[in-house]
Structure 1
């Protein structure tokens, strides 16, 4: 006797009904599970025309059942090329949408925990439609997953006279408001929302954690390799003026609105780099000033840096997990090994503008990396500067044993080296966290036989936070430095006393 096929699930949300589809998947342990997916549901109207540089506006109601069977248009308009994470691009105007994966569509009494995921891409690229962000494993484990889109680059974060600031941040807020209003229709509990993201998405999750206006929208945070921006207002204005000059318009809303979005995207990187004949100037600028595009300290939505806001106690009631990969960017400097072979690491760091005392302390704290050569040191230094030192600042800002009424902070490192790229590189942890090692292009950075046990462990820790606010090891907030190691040898895959000692000279 055959089992009758399920009919396509239809759920009613505030603007109208949406139709998804069921699918059955089998995981690495042979377990079958069914989940329903709904793609491209608009949480706001298309940011075009008069809405291009405006705050997101709720979607217009629709009278009929709306098909949500394919991914919606993406804010990333052009093929980003060979990225570590596959990031498909879809054309169209309605780029502010969410994808939902759930085991219990149409059951408002299910009360399942909810994961809201913000994609990475340096705040200028990336899409929520990557197969690596598929929520099938979380659905198997009783979690509703929502992947959100947001405006990118200058359109999302650039300073524009006459327009609201932080439009991309406002998109995150609108998506989270949509979750609060509609997620019960998909079986989710709006009072059990965990916010997570990787790279720029991890930085976005931390930005929201430190934002007073966002506190009612989520209840826990997991940040993977979080890249904070906290762009000063003066820098954002300077970049805007350079971009306007390059585009041949005035730096106003009217001026920028006269330029096609694709043309601004083509110019925005040039605008981010102050003119200089020094080839290392752009590198020094990123390492010393951070990313050019991303959340801006605008004095309204964001009044201070994220670590400062967190140190002031914003978000202290929300459990937080922070982690990075050991060698986020070392694969970038690998190609320079031969050229840097005879250049002392201290001299190379000096060329990047690192002061004498700091580079000496940093090299002393990274003797093992120093033995691997100057290219390895520079790659580690870049990753430490952009990801790992900020992690320590945030963890310390939350306090260690100083806030008995605050929620815990847990810290980890992902140390498993890629068999194809040599290092525990940026993005490598994502398919393990989502437990999707069979997804498209995972083998390119994780090899043909990635360790499923590691995926079970880190995905299980994510479930621990999402379900019960307890990932499963001693918090940093109880003892500063306490760090869980994911992917080490049997003896090293444990909790250690000061897992980020090597980056403290940069903090």
Structure 2
């Protein structure tokens, strides 16, 4: 139940007033802040000055991308009069139930999908100038939600960091090629949200000159893409990328997928044609539009390993002039500190159900079926003997993990050269899922182990010391400090191991040696 609003406050500092709803916790208080478009009302959780924080949810940073604005670049939101409630999460670009996911990421209906959520420990004067972390959610660029309870900024607020989570258009809507429409609409949404932070975060206690962007999976790919994007450089000062999934879709692949989608939808492959199809129709068909026409599932796996994700930032020669790693190699973003890493077995679990059948197939033969060149597979299997001993399913799953995620860590770190770069691995295996799998590191990074959804992926007693270690390193980077181990840029290969076995040092000399055959 939404509390009865208090009278509108005036001034530029946050005002605290008492909610009148009997359903509101007794420690909850309204808080208000100004934005360039108007005043917003959030909710304080906890007692002021006693470790609580305020949440401002669903603040629009752009007009709803519907009607004439569908497939358009984001348009700044129109100012409003009075005080706008920011008490509930705004609409998400993710629609409906995405099914079982490793991170709880709910869908919220509505048109105003371009919004931000702000969590701040400041409720008094607005001259606190605290560091800021801006989180971009993952989901393969086709799903995901900024409304996850794991992305609540409470722990960062406790440590004196303002936290912002942002939304962006997904799938074809955000990244598909459309004749007559601006390219990379989802990436333009990232830029618009970061500009909102620059223009408004001081009113929430944040310092616009100390903004760190962070994200996981596609969100990790997003922050690396932004790091390598000339237009984004004034909008942040450092980056943390968890399990980054790059896209860098070629113009040819993007056009081909859009033409096929138009054919499936029965419309012309133009802005007018796609606008004549409903959002539900295009969303339902976008996955089919990128599947192999032969229906060969193995061909689909080969396509993912060779070409990457089908929807995502496109190298358009305009906003995105060149692929991410090429831009980093040329020096774009070299002035910004970067921390990046991956879990040891991101996607190994996807083959667990096939382990019984695959145990009868030699690993070398399985790799040959994936068209892995002979010399490459020999070198890779030689460098991954320990994983190979766990069975063909385990080593194939590790190969997928390495191609999609872990080799990216090395490529990015090497491309950055002398630019300040720290590399890590998250090696703690899940007691419920066996592996150090995709998404397992997120609740540790946010230090939100108390959330009830965490037990499904991390068990009933996840190690708090591990959360303190990785969350503490994140706080250090956001504050502008060294995250706590020797950078790769000083000694290539140097890797911090979070949650490794007792026999493995916290810092190793060549933590990603096992992926070198893929480079």
Taking structure 1 as reference, are residues 369 and 298 closer, same or farther at Cα in structure 2, changes over 3 Å only?
Answer: same
Pairs within 5 Å for 1:157-196: 157-196=175-214
- The equivalent position to 2:245 in structure 1, one of 215, 220, 227, is 227
What corresponds to 1:142 in structure 2? 160
Instruction: State the SS of the aligned residue for 1:20.
Output: strand
Say yes or no: does 1:9 pair with 2:31: yes
Pairs within 5 Å for 1:107-126: 107-126=125-144
Deviation at 1:32, TM superposition (A): 5.8
| Unaligned segments of structure 1, at least 5 residues | 26-30
2: CA distance, partners of 1:24 / 1:420:
33
Pairs within 5 Å for 1:46-445: 46-105=64-123, 107-399=125-417, 403=418, 406=419, 408-445=420-457
Instruction: State the SS of the aligned residue for 1:184.
Output: helix
Q: Answer yes or no: is the 8 Å Cα contact 1:420–1:447 preserved in 2.
A: yes
What corresponds to 2:508 in structure 1? 496
Residue-by-residue CA offset, 1:8-66 (whole Å, 9 max, x unaligned): 111011000000001029xxxxx961100000000000000111100000001010100
Deviation at 1:381, TM superposition (A): 0.5
What corresponds to 2:491 in structure 1? 479
2: CA distance, partners of 1:310 / 1:13:
34
Q: Answer yes or no: is the 8 Å Cα contact 2:29–2:45 preserved in 1.
A: no
Deviation at 1:455, TM superposition (A): 0.3
What corresponds to 1:28 in structure 2? none
Residue-by-residue CA offset, 1:83-113 (whole Å, 9 max, x unaligned): 0000111100000000000001463210000
Q: Answer yes or no: is the 8 Å Cα contact 1:343–1:374 preserved in 2.
A: yes
Residue-by-residue CA offset, 1:183-234 (whole Å, 9 max, x unaligned): 0000000000000000000000000000000000000000000000000010
Q: Answer yes or no: is the 8 Å Cα contact 1:319–1:469 preserved in 2.
A: no
Q: Answer yes or no: is the 8 Å Cα contact 2:212–2:237 preserved in 1.
A: yes
Q: Answer yes or no: is the 8 Å Cα contact 1:9–1:106 preserved in 2.
A: no
Instruction: State the SS of the aligned residue for 1:196.
Output: strand
Q: Answer yes or no: is the 8 Å Cα contact 1:107–1:184 preserved in 2.
A: no
Q: TM-score, normalised by structure 1?
A: 0.96
Deviation at 1:5, TM superposition (A): 5.6
Pairs within 5 Å for 1:26-37: 33-37=51-55
| Unaligned segments of structure 2, at least 5 residues | 1-17, 19-25
Taking structure 1 as reference, are residues 5 and 432 closer, same or farther at Cα in structure 2, changes over 3 Å only?
Answer: closer
Return 485-494 or 184-193, whichever deviates more.
485-494
1: CA distance, partners of 2:163 / 2:505:
28
Taking structure 1 as reference, are residues 503 and 32 closer, same or farther at Cα in structure 2, changes over 3 Å only?
Answer: farther
Deviation at 1:262, TM superposition (A): 1.3
Q: Answer yes or no: is the 8 Å Cα contact 1:487–1:493 preserved in 2.
A: no
Return 203-212 or 348-357, whichever deviates more.
348-357
What corresponds to 2:7 in structure 1? none
Deviation at 1:162, TM superposition (A): 0.3
Instruction: State the SS of the aligned residue for 1:293.
Output: coil
1: CA distance, partners of 2:412 / 2:208:
26
Cα RMSD over matched residues? 1.5
Return 270-279 or 379-388, whichever deviates more.
270-279
Q: TM-score, normalised by structure 2?
A: 0.94
Q: Answer yes or no: is the 8 Å Cα contact 2:27–2:46 preserved in 1.
A: no
Instruction: State the SS of the aligned residue for 1:150.
Output: coil
